[in-house]
């Protein structure tokens, strides 16, 4: 498995080995011991999956506050997304900064997003399926969101704003300046 930092502390791209022949392929997409060799020692407790029918579905920016904060390991089963992590650790030197990476079934890559980061993605293709592991279960009381288009963050989404499709919850999320974040 290849492990590569992508610019903000703790956010890493993982690319599992993939072995194929004329029948298809096999890949070990998660191996706790192998990740531990790279200093990643997490206990995932829940798997989530989303299906987006159209290109331009934007989900996020989501996170959970302590004590129910979540590390996430995100991968694409079908299609492609532009995946984003935003540092929301108020004392961090990179507070409010973001990184983005294309994840796709073809690239076979994953993104590890640690606690203290808001997460979101936009689909780049119709019929995209995203799966992710989390280190704590969903907790509505701790669930929070930040606007995807907050100018203080300045994410460069690769889809035109008028083509984005958002949930009502995401469309009314607060700004980073007004959000409860990690202290």
Nearest to 81 by CA among 60, 61, 51, 101: 101
In 132-150, which positions are buried (b, 16+ CB within 10 angstroms) versus exposed (e)? bbbbbeeeeebebbbbbbb
Active site residue 142: no
Residues 6+ apart with CB under 8 A from 140: none
Active site residue 132: yes
d(CA 115, CA 11): 10
Sign of CA dihedral 21, 108, 65, 90: positive
Among the listed residues 62, 63, 138, 142, the single catalytic one is 62
Region for 60 from its dihedrals, namely left if φ exceeds 0, alpha if ψ lies in -120 to 50, beta otherwise: left
Among the listed residues 38, 132, 138, 142, the single catalytic one is 132
Cβ atoms 6, 82 nearer than 8 A: no
**Catalytic residue ranges:** 62, 132
């Amino acid at each position: 498995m290849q492990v590569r930092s992508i610019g903000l502390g703790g956010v890493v791209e993982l690319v599992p080995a993939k072995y194929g022949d004329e029948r298809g392929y096999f890949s070990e997409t998660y191996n706790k011991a192998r990740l531990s060799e790279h200093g990643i020692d997490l206990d995932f407790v829940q798997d989530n999956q989303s299906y987006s029918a159209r290109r331009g579905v934007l989900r996020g920016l989501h996170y959970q506050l302590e004590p129910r904060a979540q590390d996430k390991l995100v991968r694409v089963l079908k299609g492609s997304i532009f995946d984003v992590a935003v540092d929301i650790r108020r004392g961090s030197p990179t507070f409010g900064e973001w990184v983005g990476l294309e994840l796709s079934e073809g690239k076979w890559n994953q993104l590890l997003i640690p606690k203290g980061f808001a997460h979101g993605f936009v689909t780049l293709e119709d019929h995209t399926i995203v799966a992710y592991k989390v280190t704590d279960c969903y907790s509505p009381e701790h669930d929070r969101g930040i606007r995807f288009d907050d100018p203080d963050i300045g994410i460069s989404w690769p889809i035109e704003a008028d083509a984005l499709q958002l949930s009502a919850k995401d469309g009314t999320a607060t700004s980073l300046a007004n959000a409860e974040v990690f202290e």
